[in-house]
């Protein structure tokens, strides 16, 4: 009788172990399937975010690190949105523009400039194209030579849209947002100073105003760098005009070396401190545009 009970117990234990193994195998299979579904869901989410980037903001809000996003990150996102909008507008404008010899010549000129800047400053061709097209559009709005605007950008930031000096000059054209807050109203406020399109448009407007105020390009550049009350601008205007001369040659189709010996950069940060006072002071001189 005892032997019969022992056998029955062993058989029962064996069945229980088989059932436990079956349950474990089932749980492992379900866990594997769950991980597979999670992976597929992640891929689907990333794909959806790629094609619909506006969903990224909703996802970031759920993150515990949302509050740690920096001011610069927000400015970059704003800049990329505005750049995309600008490119769409530029494409629409290109389609509606007449196919005149003047437009063809301008387009050819821009191609020369885009390629040369991309090589000289080692930036992506697409980035160079966007910056050159924005410079041309912004300069034409204020009746300024776009090559001069590009020359200022080259000397100020070497086409780095997120450049920032120790005294607060920011972006491609090193604009001081605290001095020119009102000029950024149409771009969403001074936080858009790192937005490439906004920075170029505001920088071109400032440069034009200073040239009109001073009466010449050289004097306007001296004001732009903040040396209006100083005897010397530290070689700033000379560097800008040298780059301007090179870009003029490039735009005309001439072969211009992309490498030139670099002179010591002017110490602009000290000049920028004077610039804040210079540009916030009342305008004492105004030169009308020639007819």
pLDDT tens column, 144-181: 999 999 999 999 999 999 999 988 999 999 999 999 99
Residue 221 pLDDT = 97
Write down the pLDDT at residue 131. Answer: 97
Model confidence pLDDT, tens digit, residues 65-87: 444 444 444 444 444 444 545 54
Q: Band of the pLDDT at 215, cuts 50, 70, 90?
A: very high
Residues 271/174, Cβ–Cβ less than 8 Å: no
Check residue 175 and report its DSSP letter: E
Which pLDDT score is estimated for 260? 77
State how far the Cα of 239 lies from the Cα of 262, in Å rounded to an integer.
Answer: 9
Q: How far apart are CA 248 and CA 254, in angstroms?
A: 9
Task: Tell me the Ramachandran region of residue 175: left when phi exceeds 0, alpha when psi lies from -120 to 50, beta otherwise.
Answer: beta
Name the percent of the chain lying above pLDDT 70: 54
Q: Which of 18-27, 147-156, 212-221 has the lowest mean pLDDT?
A: 18-27
Q: CA–CA separation, 164 vs 148, rounded Å?
A: 21
Can you name the residues that pair with 164 across neighbouring β-strands? 170
Check residue 72 and give its pLDDT: 45
Q: Which residue has the higher pLDDT, 278 or 236?
A: 236
pLDDT at 105: 75
- How far apart CA 162 and CA 256 sit, in angstroms, is 28
Read off the tokens for 3.
Answer: 């032997």
Q: CB burial class (10 A; 0-12, 13-18, 19+) of residue 196? A: buried
What H or E segment, with its residue span, contains residue 170? strand 169-170
Q: Is the pLDDT of residue 39 over 80?
A: no
Cα-to-chain-centroid distance, residue 93:
22
Q: pLDDT band for 58, please (50, 70, 90 cuts).
A: low
Cβ-based neighbours of 110, under 8 Å, separated by 6 or more: 132, 133, 136
Mean pLDDT of 5-16: 57
pLDDT of 128 > 80? The answer is: yes
Q: DSSP H helical segments within the chain, as ranges? A: 2-51, 55-61, 71-96, 101-120, 125-141, 146-157, 196-214, 217-224, 236-251, 268-280
Given a cut of 80, is residue 93 above it in pLDDT?
no
Q: Which residues contact 192 (CB under 8 A, 6 or more apart)?
A: 75, 78, 79, 82, 184, 198, 199
Identify the pLDDT of residue 106. Answer: 85
Does 36 or 181 have the greater pLDDT score? 181
pLDDT at residue 207 in the model: 97
Percent of the chain with pLDDT over 90: 47
Q: What is the structure's pLDDT at 153?
A: 97
Contact 126, 140 (CB under 8 A): no
Q: Of 210 and 275, which is predicted with more confidence?
A: 210
Lowest mean pLDDT among 23-37, 129-143, 263-277: 263-277
pLDDT, average across residues 12-31:
63
pLDDT at 103: 72
**Dihedral sign (CA 71, 72, 77, 83):** positive
Dihedral sign for Cα atoms in the order 180, 186, 192, 195: negative
Residues 11-38, mean pLDDT to the nearest whole number: 62
């Amino acid at each position: 009788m005892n032997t019969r009970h022992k056998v029955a117990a062993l058989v029962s234990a064996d069945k229980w172990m088989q059932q436990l193994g079956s349950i474990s195998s089932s749980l492992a299979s379900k866990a594997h399937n769950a991980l597979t579904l999670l992976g597929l869901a992640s891929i689907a989410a990333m794909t959806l975010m790629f094609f619909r980037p506006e969903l990224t903001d909703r996802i970031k809000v759920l993150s515990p690190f949302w509050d740690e996003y920096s001011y610069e990150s927000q400015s970059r996102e704003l800049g990329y949105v505005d750049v995309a909008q600008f490119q769409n507008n530029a494409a629409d404008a290109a389609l509606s523009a007449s196919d005149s010899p003047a437009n063809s010549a301008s387009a050819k000129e821009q191609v020369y400039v885009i390629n040369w800047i991309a090589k000289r400053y080692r930036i992506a061709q697409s980035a160079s194209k966007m910056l050159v097209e924005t410079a041309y559009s912004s300069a034409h709005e204020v009746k300024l030579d776009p090559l001069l605007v590009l020359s200022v950008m080259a000397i100020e930031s070497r086409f780095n849209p997120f450049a920032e000096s120790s005294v607060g000059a920011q972006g491609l054209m090193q604009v001081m947002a605290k001095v020119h807050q009102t000029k950024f109203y149409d771009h969403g406020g001074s936080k858009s100073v790192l937005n490439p399109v906004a920075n170029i448009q505001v920088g071109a407007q400032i440069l034009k105003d200073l040239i009109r105020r001073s009466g010449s390009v050289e004097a306007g550049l001296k004001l732009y760098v903040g040396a209006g009350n100083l005897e010397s601008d530290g070689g700033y205007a000379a560097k800008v005009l040298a780059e301007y001369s090179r870009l003029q040659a490039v735009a005309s189709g001439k072969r211009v070396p992309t490498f030139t010996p670099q002179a010591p950069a002017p110490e602009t940060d000290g000049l920028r401190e004077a610039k804040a006072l210079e540009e916030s002071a009342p305008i004492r001189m105004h030169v009308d545009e020639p007819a």
